[in-house]
A and B are shown apart, each in its own frame.
Chain A
Amino acid sequence: MFTIASIAVMIALALAVTRAILGPTVFDRVLAANTIGTLAILLLAVIGFLMGRPEWLDIALVYGLLNLIGTLAVLKYFRHGDLAHDAEQDTKS
């Protein structure tokens, strides 16, 4: 059961990597990177169960938090060209 699930997640990972390589715009690549992070969490959890070591779920949680911060940081960089951009100044001026 967990073998089937991990194979499915790995095929999905391969397709997401294909989209990250093909992606015509940068947003396709960010979306593919986000999906790869999600699938990595799932793969960690499933393989932890497969190997009988569910302690890997802790690593999966850390991956999830890093995934969100990474996505938002890259998007902010591509939107403002600057990670320390102050959004309030845009609305004032």
Chain B
Amino acid sequence: MMPAVIIAAGASSSAVAAGPAIPLDVYIDWIVHILSWAAILSGSFFVLVGSVGLIRMPDVFTRMHAASIIDTLGAGLLVAGMMMQAGPSLITLKLIFIMLLFLVTSPVATHALAQAALHAGEKPELKEDRTNEPGSPRAQLEEAQHQAEGKR
């Protein structure tokens, strides 16, 4: 929509006078539009990345790490893009409040969650748990399962 306006404005004014045709306001509008496009698209990308991490990560603590991407980069870029679309108004003020809310509540919730999980005896999965070398906890576990299946 915006490029068409610019082409129309440029065509009409350059037909009248062959000087600096397009007014500066139109350029600034266009730049803000492109920046908000970029911010909203990259915000959507980071929201998707965070939710895929929520599915793929191995334990609670790493999943918290993935979910914090949604709270910071995803929400931040989306809200910044929406601010650029809204312009200076009451809506932008509300968006700033939403952003401040995210910045304050997300670390509080994540910290409480990690503390409660540690208190309840959740252990972070370590590198030793992921290797299959003989003697590692995972190899011992697999061996025990193997023996249990063999006995049956």
Task: Give the B-binding residues of A (Cβ under 8 A).
Answer: 1-2, 4-5, 7-9, 11-13, 15-16, 18-19, 25, 27-28, 30-32, 34-35, 38-39, 41-42, 45-46, 49, 54, 57-58, 60-61, 64-65, 67-68, 71-72, 75, 78-79
Is B116 engaged at the interface, CB distance under 8 Å to the other chain?
Answer: yes
Q: List 25 A-B contacts (CB under 8 A).
A: A1-B36, A1-B40, A5-B40, A8-B48, A9-B44, A11-B51, A12-B50, A15-B54, A16-B51, A16-B54, A18-B55, A31-B63, A31-B67, A32-B54, A34-B109, A35-B70, A38-B70, A38-B71, A39-B51, A42-B74, A45-B82, A54-B86, A72-B109, A75-B113, A78-B120
User: What is the interface of chain B mostly: helix, strand, loop, or mixed?
Assistant: helix
Flag B73-111 by CB within 8 Å of A: 1 or 0 each: 011001101100110000100110110011001101100
Q: In whole angstroms, how far apart are the Cα atoms of A81 and B50 in the complex?
A: 31
Q: Determine the residue in chain B with the shortest Cβ distance to A7.
A: B44
Q: Which of A32, A64, A79 contacts B119 (CB 8 A)?
A: A79
Asked if residues A75 and B54 are in contact (CB atoms below 8 Å), the reply is: no
Q: Which of under 10, 10 to 19, 20 to 34, or 35 or more describes the interface residues of B?
A: 35 or more
Task: Give the A-binding residues of B (Cβ under 8 A).
Answer: 36-37, 40-41, 43-45, 47-48, 50-52, 54-55, 60, 63-64, 67, 70-71, 74-75, 78-79, 81-82, 85-86, 91, 94-95, 97-98, 101-102, 105-106, 108-109, 112-113, 116-117, 119-120, 122
